[in-house]
């Protein structure tokens, strides 16, 4: 829980920092772009006035300053139209066209787009004749880059936050894996000594009381303990997958569950008549099905029906475990496989988490809540790909 709380706090702080950086950057860039846009508007008004002076100049007019202003615009795209809407000249504009007629059409279309965005200045030339010219301009390259900058910065910040969160989650997952593997190995090791002792004592009892009816049951329990120790020993190492008959494995689990549950729990199996040969680690897969069945018994409070079905589909094998228990709220479907999640008063909440690890990491399949309704029951679905 400490790890989880710490991860949540760090994620919250990272997201808050990213939001603050992005908000500050967007606000500052907005004001800066607005100031530059007003400055460019003023420059274009001066440029338009220079064009009017140049157009109305006579032989006595000194045009050195006017030409300096006109030629000084090397960044802002500009198009000059006459009163009839025809293009007189343009500057700093990239035009791609096949011929001169196409060039005029492209430039005129761009001028109309500039006017539609409100970037145009009308200059009257002769009030008596009603002549005028219209200077249409676009944003400079620098202004466009500056307007795009905060979004680029936003993307970089989001990538940084995503990488940081991924690193934290990977660290958390690695820590959990070490704990699980260490706990499993230590459990298998601790079980080894008493199991060996029990095996020796059963052998002594078999020689002393060869006809005792309880000895076979004791042998079954010892073998069961061996099976449990084998399961724990396989956690953390890559198990060997072998061809197994899925029907037989499910049958063995059902036999074990039936012996250890009350008569009020009814177990129904729906298996195909032909064998389902699947690449499995039998001890681990039995553990998963057994865990689902035990959870089902707990969810039903020891009374109800457990239905287990197995089927073969074109690309996969499917196993479903259904119960008639209290069900799981849909908001918690995604949390049931999280370590520590449990609705029982007893238990560590690791059973379904280990089941997910066994199915997805060792068998490369899927396990998920297919359906659940509060008060009606739950169905877990396991999918295993065909080789």
| Confidence category of residue 1, pLDDT binned at 50, 70, 90 | very low
Q: Read off the pLDDT of each residue in 353-374 and give the average, rounded to a whole number.
A: 88
26-30, 271-275, 339-343, 366-370: least confident range: 339-343
Higher local confidence (pLDDT), 14 or 377: 377
Sign of the dihedral through C-alpha 205, 209, 215, 216: positive
Do residues 124 and 58 lie in contact, with contact meaning Cβ atoms separated by under 8 Å?
no
pLDDT at 222: 81
145-154, 175-184, 226-235: least confident range: 175-184
Per cent of the chain over pLDDT 90 is 14
pLDDT at 379: 94
**DSSP-derived secondary structure for 46-94:** HHHHHHHHHHH--TT---HHHHHHHHT--SS-EEEEETTS-EEEEES--
| Cα atoms found within 13 Å of the Cα of residue 158, Cβ hemisphere only | 8
| Confidence category of residue 170, pLDDT binned at 50, 70, 90 | confident
Q: Are strands 366-373 and 265-270 parallel, antiparallel or unpaired?
A: unpaired
Residue 3 has pLDDT above 60, yes or no: no
pLDDT at 28: 81
| Confidence category of residue 137, pLDDT binned at 50, 70, 90 | confident
Q: Read off the pLDDT of each residue in 213-237 and give the average, rounded to a whole number.
A: 76
With CA atoms as reference, report the closest residue to 94 among 112, 66, 81, 75.
Answer: 75
Do residues 373 and 327 lie in contact, with contact meaning Cβ atoms separated by under 8 Å?
yes
| Confidence category of residue 250, pLDDT binned at 50, 70, 90 | very high
Do residues 377 and 325 lie in contact, with contact meaning Cβ atoms separated by under 8 Å?
yes
Residue 347 has pLDDT above 60, yes or no: no
Q: Read off the pLDDT of each residue in 282-301 and give the average, rounded to a whole number.
A: 88
Q: Are strands 377-385 and 316-323 parallel, antiparallel or unpaired?
A: antiparallel
- Of the options 3.30.360.10, 3.40.50.2300, 3.65.10.10, 3.30.565.10, the CATH number for the domain spanning 240-385: 3.30.565.10
206-222 residue pLDDT tens:
888 888 888 888 888 88
pLDDT at 305: 92
- Please state, in angstroms and rounded to a whole number, the distance separating the CA atoms of residues 37 and 44: 10
Domain boundaries of the chain, sorted by first residue: 2-143, 240-385
Roughly what angle, to the nearest 10 degrees, separates helices 215-234 and 141-208? 160
Reduced to 3 states (helix: H, G, I; strand: E, B; else coil), residue 283 is helix
Do residues 213 and 337 lie in contact, with contact meaning Cβ atoms separated by under 8 Å?
no
CA 109, distance to chain mean position in Å, is 44
Q: Are strands 265-270 and 304-312 parallel, antiparallel or unpaired?
A: parallel
Residue 185 has pLDDT above 70, yes or no: no
* Phi, psi for 165 (deg, rounded to 5): -65, -40
- Please state, in angstroms and rounded to a whole number, the distance separating the CA atoms of residues 370 and 383: 11
Range of 191-195, 357-361, 378-382 with top mean pLDDT: 378-382
Both tokens of 95, joined, read: 């035009």
């Amino acid at each position: 829980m400490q790890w989880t709380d710490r991860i949540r706090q760090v994620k919250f702080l990272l997201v808050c920092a990213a939001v603050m950086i992005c908000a500050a950057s967007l606000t500052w860039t907005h004001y800066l772009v607005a100031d530059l846009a007003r400055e460019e508007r003023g420059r274009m008004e001066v440029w338009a006035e220079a064009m009017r002076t140049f157009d109305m100049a006579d032989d006595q007019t000194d045009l050195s300053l006017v030409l300096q202003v006109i030629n000084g615009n090397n960044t802002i795209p500009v198009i000059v139209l006459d009163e009839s809407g025809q293009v007189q000249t343009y500057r700093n504009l990239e035009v791609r066209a096949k011929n001169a007629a196409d060039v005029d059409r492209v430039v005129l279309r761009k001028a109309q787009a500039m006017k539609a965005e409100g970037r145009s200045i009308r200059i009257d030339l002769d009030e008596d004749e009603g002549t005028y010219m219209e200077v249409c301009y676009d944003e400079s390259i620098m202004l466009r880059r500056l307007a795009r900058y905060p979004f680029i910065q936003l993307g970089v910040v989001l990538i940084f936050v995503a990488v940081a969160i991924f690193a934290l989650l990977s660290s958390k997952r690695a820590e959990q894996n070490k704990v699980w593997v260490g706990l499993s190995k230590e459990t298998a090791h601790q079980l080894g000594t008493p199991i060996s002792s029990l095996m020796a004592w059963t052998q002594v009892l078999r020689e002393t009381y060869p006809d005792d009816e309880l000895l076979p049951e004791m042998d079954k329990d010892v073998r069961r303990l061996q099976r449990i120790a084998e399961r724990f020993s396989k956690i953390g190492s890559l198990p060997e997958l072998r061809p197994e008959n899925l029907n037989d494995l499910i049958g063995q689990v059902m036999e074990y569950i039936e012996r250890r549950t009350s008569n009020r729990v009814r177990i129904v199996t729906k298996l195909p008549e032909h064998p389902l040969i699947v690449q499995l680690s039998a001890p681990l897969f039995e553990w998963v099905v057994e865990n689902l069945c035990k959870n089902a018994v707990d969810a039903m409070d020891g009374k109800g029906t457990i239905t287990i079905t197995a089927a073969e589909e074109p690309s996969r094998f499917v196993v479903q475990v259904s119960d008639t228990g209290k069900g799981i709220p849909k908001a918690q479907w995604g949390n049931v496989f999280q370590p520590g999640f449990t609705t029982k008063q007893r238990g560590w909440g690791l059973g379904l988490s280990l089941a997910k690890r066994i199915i997805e990491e060792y068998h490369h399949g899927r396990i998920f809540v297919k359906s659940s309704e509060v008060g009606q029951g739950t169905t877990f679905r396991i999918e295993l790909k065909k080789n």
